Amino acid sequence: MTAVQVTAAKTPLSKKSKERLFNSASVPPEKCIFCKIVNKELPSHVIFEDNEYIAFLDNHPFNEGHTLVCPKKHGETVWDMSQEEIGGLFMLASRVSKALVKATGADGFRFVQNNGEAANQIVPHVHVHTIPVRLSDKGKWLDRKKLPPEDMERIAQSIKGFIE
């Protein structure tokens, strides 16, 4: 290693960190797709909702039952949330994962949570993808699907029945 590489390697991450992550899709809350879903301005297949969080089916799921778990309060990344809010988000994602596995007969599930455009965050509102998977999905990157509205509603109703 050169002297420059050694110095860079010893620099604490906190001194390199940013306050915001780049996302070319950044929008104010009034233009955010997920805020519009929260405010019932756009249709969705909601499987859970309380005062702080909402969970709804992804319109282009990787697998049947793929659900997005979001805080209702707008924020682009987890850096915009308190520790308590992050904890609440993932506690709900855990509850949703149990319902997804039961409703779909899945063998497991994935949590995917992207922050910033470099991480493939497409919608600039914090959300956790909760994706049911089967053993046959092991080692594969799944393609997105488009399901008919009646299938989406059937899936949503089934998952709702298993939310604890």
pLDDT tens digits, 143-156? 999 999 999 999 99
Residue 15 lies in a domain: no
Q: What is the CATH number of the domain that holds 35?
A: 3.30.428.10
Dump pLDDT digits (tens) for 85-117. 999 999 999 999 999 999 999 999 999 999 999
18 — pLDDT class (breaks 50, 70, 90): low
Alpha helices of the chain — where are they, by DSSP H?
3-10, 13-16, 33-38, 83-104, 149-160
Catalytic residues: 127
Is the residue at 3 inside a domain?
A: no
> Within a domain: residue 2?
no
Q: Give the least confident one: 23-27, 51-55, 158-162.
A: 23-27
7 assigned to some structural domain: no
141 found inside a domain = yes
Does a structural domain hold residue 84? yes
Give the strands of the sheet with 67-71, arranged side by side.
46-49, 53-57, 67-71, 128-133, 108-112
Higher per-residue confidence, 14 vs 140? 140
**What percentage of the chain has pLDDT greater than the value 90?**
76
- Report the domain count for the chain: 1
Which pLDDT tens digit goes with each residue over 50-91? 999 999 999 999 999 999 999 999 999 999 999 999 999 999
The whole-number pLDDT of residue 17 equals 54
Sign of CA dihedral 133, 135, 141, 144: negative
- 81 in a structural domain: yes
Domain contains 8: no
Query: What's the domain range around 124?
Result: 26-160
